[in-house]
Structure 1
């Protein structure tokens, strides 16, 4: 069935364009090192936008070009609008938990200008605080790391090391994004089974695959790739429509087709993602999607310079002086580094993800008709996006080259829950090794193993077994 391109414009095409360009740059590095990738375009965009609020002249023009905005006011309006509306927290009603927060830490000798402080607080909901980078840089690092841990529900316990802040540091600007959503229709762990995942080098290994728990999914078939869309729950009510948040998996048809697919995505316009999302569900044949947990940490400075943010890193040319008051030495501000960390976990229940970005400053198409039954077997590398569909905002993106491997005995630890009118009853699958004793002893031996597994050896003895 043919999908239709969205009619409403992207709220922030600059965010989407930056996301696709970053995907192209970061995925190339990750593929070369055979490592997974996860990052938050939203977090990077918000941190850069907040930094741009203190930029002037050529430095500001570079920020605006990279972020796809016409002015600092437009940047502030975009981030504020996303935080207050499209990305508003929905956890109180049973929907996704979403948090987008910023922070600014400045040395006690470099006071923030009132206009920048007001913009940080009003448009970016940023906490601003004076710290002593000169005399106690270690304490400043602890304070910033504690903020990152609290903002990401401890998924990211630290973003800076002691060596990344020095007596020359004047300002640290940070953003964090936290997301936790439950699938609109969760997967049943009972159907999760190990199978082979094919690496880019042709080797295989066992990973746990979530398998089909219903007959219809949102899948679109395109030339050379398929797209699966999994929607998140919006409300406590069982039959409430799904939330506008979804996770989309772009799976190349060829097992070695990841690089080509990423090149297509990264070189396309900002509407590429939404134009290729499935608009309706189809009947599904074989279905396999691996569970995975990914982490990522990198200094983004070199990549952002390649994308056009160059003057801001030049100690002689950078102009970020709308950020701080003149303190008498004439020391200019310049970007030293942009540090980004991200974590994501995808399992039968849903998705939990977090990201944090630190900016440090120093002084000195056409869609084919799918077949009647569509298979979606993600047993080789693929691309994923967590998006808010109404605005088009890309909250997280990445590539899965090697999902988390299967752990021996893992299935023994997994179990479902059934809901009784009075209480929850924990149901776990009962498995035990087949030994010579159990093979010869028949039913009695099996009963012994069951009681031992459920209640321990004392219970077995009390029954005289």
Structure 2
């Protein structure tokens, strides 16, 4: 009997080593690249815009650009690889995306989280079968033929794409494609959508929410609905993963199910002070230092939407070729006729006493080149001034959403 048990344990161990560990390694490679890109993009989007809220989904952008990357060649591919930190090895990259998307879309969760990809192809334009198969197999991106050239069909194509995005974001992302963004030169649009809704593991008591000051800057304050986490009993504060440095406080707020959480970075001085040194490596260091502490927690309710045109941003980050007449996307159609015309990203977030709802979508519009270019005393975590927040998938460490609250009411 003992020998049978040892044999069973050996087989189980081998299964884990041969199947689970490699799968997680592939996912982690994609997550690492996604997260590095997240911080690069955050730095670019917030530079010179200290008085603005920011919110985006690096995962949505990376997914849409990952499908686009599958058709890139030469210098175009090299530049995109560096900007998005894509794995060079095709098999490892594709398997990583496949497993990460499958993990995000798994069933039987205590929260809502799903993502979807799609391709929208001008019906008269020939896209290589191998490219379409790769995108469908590894990114779950199915192609739909639509009419972009014919003006009478173009409006219907835009409606179809926007309806798909709305359906996959529970109506939170509307009209990602404006009619004027599509022309007779449009040949292909690649889209991603992601939606999340989760309840806090420990919810805020609505009775404790009241209007309090939020210090936007040394000169400006505004009244916002400030939530407070209720005590479990007399002088008995709830515990959260918490860390503190000379510059900031960090807290992790888990959602029901424990698979996702929000990490909040609250500066002790101004937000720009910590943004200058904010990197993926530093966040990982902060996360490693988190430990359970009783916390007297205050957090403002907030809700806002953002929209970004990412073409100039990505060009500045190091991939101008993809948008130029020198672009090479011959892996898509067998020619060098295509280039990226626009990359549009929209996002939505709402944080309240119950939890968080967030959604985002990305559209990559491609045209032919003829087109135009531990202590008894609790620590106090009072988020009453601008802060950074990140919604992360804990199992894979993938950053799903990234934001900055400058003014909760904007």
The alpha-carbon distance between structure 1 residues 51 and 395, as it changes in their structure 2 partners (threshold 3 A), is: same
Aligned to 1:79: 97
Tell me the CA shift for residue 126 of structure 1: 0.8
The separation in 2 between residues aligned to 1:371 and 1:19, in whole angstroms, is 37
Contact 2:255 / 2:261 at 8 angstroms: preserved in 1?
yes
Judged with a 3 Å threshold, the aligned counterparts in structure 2 of structure 1 residues 404 and 370 are, in CA distance, closer, same or farther, namely farther
For 1:361-411, what per-residue CA distance to the aligned partner results, in whole angstroms no more than 9, with x for missing partners? 1111xxxx9895311011000000000122210000010000028xxxxxx
Q: Which runs of 5+ in 2 are unaligned?
A: 1-23, 232-236
Distance 2:48 2:190 in 1: 26
Deviations 1:219-248 (A, max 9, x none): 2111210111100101xxxxxxxx221001
Question: Given the alignment of the two structures, is residue 291 of structure 1 paired with residue 301 of structure 2, yes or no?
Answer: yes
Residue 201 of structure 1: CA displacement? 5.6
The number of aligned residues is 370
In 1, Cα distance between equivalents of 2:32 and 2:100: 12
Structure 2 match to 1:118:
133
For residues 375 and 38 of structure 2, the distance between their equivalents in structure 1, rounded to whole angstroms, comes to: 28
Match of residue 259, structure 1, among 263, 272, 275: 272
Shift of 1:88: 3.1
Q: Deviations over 1:263-297 (max 9, x none)?
A: 211xx3x3322321253221224x31001012100
In the superposition, relative to structure 1, how do residues 30 and 370 fare at CA in structure 2: closer, same or farther (>3 Å)?
Answer: farther
- For the Cα contact (< 8 Å) 1:274–1:389, is it kept in 2? no
CA distance in 1 between partners of 2:75 and 2:201 (Å):
47
CA contact under 8 A between 1:30 and 1:37: conserved in structure 2? no
Q: Which residue, out of 392, 405, 408, partners 1:403?
A: 408
Match of 1:378 among 371, 374, 383: 383
In angstroms, what is the RMSD of aligned CA positions? Answer: 1.9
Measured in 1, the distance between the counterparts of 2:48 and 2:319 equals: 19
Pick one of 305, 317, 322 that aligns with 2:315: 305
Q: Is the 8 A contact 1:298 1:341 kept in 2?
A: yes
Is 1:57–1:319's contact at 8 Å kept on the other side of the alignment? yes
Query: CA contact under 8 A between 1:221 and 1:370: conserved in structure 2?
Result: no
SS in 2 for 1:44: helix
Counterpart in 1 of 2:246?
223
Distance of 2:314 and 2:95 partners within structure 1: 23
Tell me if the contact between 1:200 and 1:401 (Cα under 8 Å) persists in the aligned partners.
no
Q: Does 1:233 align with 2:259?
A: no
Aligned to 2:275, the other structure's residue is in SS state helix
TM-score, normalised with respect to structure 2: 0.86
Gaps of 5+ in 1: 1-7, 235-242, 406-465
Aligned to 2:393: 388
1:325 to partner: Cα distance: 5.1
Match of 2:196 among 171, 179, 199: 179
> Match of 2:332?
323
Query: Do 1:220 and 1:370's aligned partners in 2 also have CA atoms closer than 8 Å?
Result: no
Task: Give the equivalent residue in structure 1 for 2:284.
Answer: 274
Match of 1:22 in 2: 41
Q: Against the structure 1 CA distance between its residues 370 and 125, is the aligned structure 2 distance closer, same or farther, given a 3 Å change threshold?
A: farther
C-alpha distance after superposition, 1:95-134 (max 9, x if no partner):
1211111111111121221111111111111121111100
Could you tell me whether the CA contact under 8 Å between 2:203 and 2:229 is conserved in 1? no
Instruction: Tell me which residue corresponds to 2:6.
Output: none
Give SS of 2:47's match. helix
- The alignment status of 1:207 with 2:207, answered yes or no, reads no
TM-score normalised over the length of structure 1? 0.76
Structure 2 Cα separation of the partners of residues 399 and 301 of structure 1: 22
Higher helix share: 2
Question: Are the equivalent residues in 2 in contact too, given 1:187–1:210 (CA < 8 A)?
Answer: yes
Q: Is the 8 A contact 2:131 2:332 kept in 1?
A: yes
1:107 aligned partner: 122
User: d(CA) in 2 for partners of 1:99 and 1:373?
Assistant: 36
Q: Which moved more, 1:196-205 or 1:393-402?
A: 196-205
